[in-house]
Amino acid sequence: MTSGDVNRSFLPLPDISDGNLSHSFKNRKNQNTAKKPPTLYTKRQYNRSNISTTASVVTFKGPSGSPKLSSIYKPEKNESYFEQCFEKIEKMGEGSFGQVFKVRSRDDGLLYAVKMSKQFFRSESYREERLVEVKRHEEFSHQEHCVTLYRAWEERDRLYLQMELCQSSLETYVREQKIIPETQMWSFLLDLLLALKGLHDKNLIHLDIKLDNILITEDGVCKLGDFGLVCQENKESAMEGDSRYIAPELLQGNFSKAADIFSLGITMLELGCNLELPSNGILWQQLRRGILPEESKSILSGELYEIIQWMMNPDYQQRPSVEALLRYPRIFRLLQKRKRWWSITKIRKLKRNTVHRFVHRWHILKKSIRILLSRMGFAVLSCIRRRRGSEFEEHCSMSALELSDDDQLTSTPVLGDSSINMSDVVNSTPILSHERRRNVRLISASSPQNNSSFEEFEDHLSRSPLNYTPRSKHDFSSLTGKKLFTNSDDSD
């Protein structure tokens, strides 16, 4: 026993007796209707004096490989970076630390998952803990069986992560599927072992392996996510994950790679047997003692039951490593067979992304065409309006030249002769004043070709009575030349 083991404080474990206790199983039909507990919201206790309202990239990469913000982001707008650069489609899930949304990027048109922290940064240490997740996620983002992180940024005291979009979590997938074939379970186990191998090769442990943190893609491939609790092996100050999945040695302060193996084993037990895992109590202790439910022997095959029991060994030193599990005959044969299909999977992913980009650009092209056609229509209408307006102004100016202001306001006699048609007189030529008529006579004398019309007009006036009743005002239309009577007080 080392000195480090002596200084550790061991927690007492209760005596477990073999009673008539039995495990409960999930009811797939009633899971969708189960009520969820209300969400707890905490008051903000931390106010930084230098809170920035603009988005800033969070990265631990070098200056050459660091991601940048989108070019369509305008910091002067009141909308956040998330609202400007993404179109929110639906809410995919919610955890204790954040919410995950399915979004479409306005930049490239592809679908992504954006995780937004639910709580504000309460302190500087709390902010650093959240940023560690970005650092760990960037280290494993390039791996095939880990969720890819494209960009992370902080804005208005919140952390945002733009990640690869997966179909759903394994918890949701199991809930929708009535039966999980055992061949698919072996495939899921291989995916998760390959994801753990990348962490364990760097002496890192995940500490939070569970169905909610395992995502499944459209191709049916499982990927490991949520690296918020990743820490170095044998680190003294580490945080445990969900109590339903933690290994028993974590309660004694022993953080090792074997803890991830236990969590993976109990996850496969839950997946294969549709088991309702307890969070504490006697049944919880039985699982940590290696006592599996009796029903699991009839549900699982002998080979799968054997490997799960091996992974859930109470003694963490007797549990297999990731390399030992990958050498297991059934898993090794599946790995060799899958290597021939990885290229096909990459081609499918490339084809799907190409189709999404093409659809997005086609929508942008149609929108641009609609905007262009609408602008052209408005331009044509404005040209027609300006042309008609110029014709109207030209007609008004010509009418104003024919009739002066004095002529429009001059009183005229009311012709009493029944032989005179007033409409013909008004429509043929406007009624002129005395001075205007005298000028017209002088002009008509010099131009004999136009004397006939004026003589005809003078003949009309000569047949009118000398005494007439004057009217107060006569108005003429500038467009048609017709006389409009207004404010008439005729006593005839």
Place of tokens 């797939």: 28
Check pLDDT > 80 for residue 209.
yes
pLDDT category of residue 252 using cuts at 50, 70 and 90: confident
pLDDT in tens, 164-204: 999 888 988 888 887 789 999 999 999 999 999 989 998 88
pLDDT at position 12, please? 52
pLDDT at position 331, please? 93
> 33-37, 59-63, 272-276: which has the highest mean pLDDT?
272-276
pLDDT category of residue 231 using cuts at 50, 70 and 90: confident
pLDDT in tens, 88-120: 999 888 877 788 999 999 888 889 999 998 888
pLDDT at position 399, please? 56
The one-letter code for the residue type at 356 is H
Check pLDDT > 90 for residue 260.
yes
pLDDT at position 481, please? 42
pLDDT in tens, 317-355: 999 999 999 999 999 999 888 876 666 666 666 666 677
Check pLDDT > 70 for residue 473.
no
More confident residue, 75 or 454: 75
Check pLDDT > 50 for residue 455.
yes
Taking each helix axis as running N to C, give the angle between helix 182-200 and helix 124-140, from 0 to 180 degrees, rounded to the nearest 10. Answer: 110
pLDDT at position 433, please? 54
pLDDT at position 32, please? 47
Tokens of 425: 């007189």
pLDDT in tens, 413-451: 444 445 555 555 555 555 555 556 666 555 555 555 545
> 9-13, 244-248, 453-457: which has the highest mean pLDDT?
244-248
pLDDT at position 311, please? 95
Share of the chain above pLDDT 70, in %: 64
Per-residue pLDDT, averaged over 269-297, amounts to 89
More confident residue, 256 or 422: 256
Measured in degrees and rounded to the nearest 5, phi and psi for residue 274 equal: 55, 45
Cβ–Cβ < 8 Å for 185, 331: no
pLDDT at position 40, please? 40
pLDDT at position 163, please? 92
Q: Is 208 a catalytic residue?
A: yes
Check pLDDT > 60 for residue 477.
no
The mean of the pLDDT values for the chain is: 75
More confident residue, 356 or 401: 356
As separate numbers, helices (DSSP H) first and strands (DSSP E) second, the chain gives 16, 13
Share of the chain above pLDDT 90, in %: 25
pLDDT at position 469, please? 45
pLDDT at position 245, please? 93
Check pLDDT > 50 for residue 29.
no
Check pLDDT > 60 for residue 255.
yes
Please pick, among 15, 18, 157, 208, the residue that the annotation labels catalytic.
Answer: 208
Is the Cα dihedral 327, 328, 333, 337 positive or negative? negative
Check pLDDT > 80 for residue 223.
yes
DSSP string, 252-283: GT---HHHHHHHHHHHHHHHHHTB---SSSHH
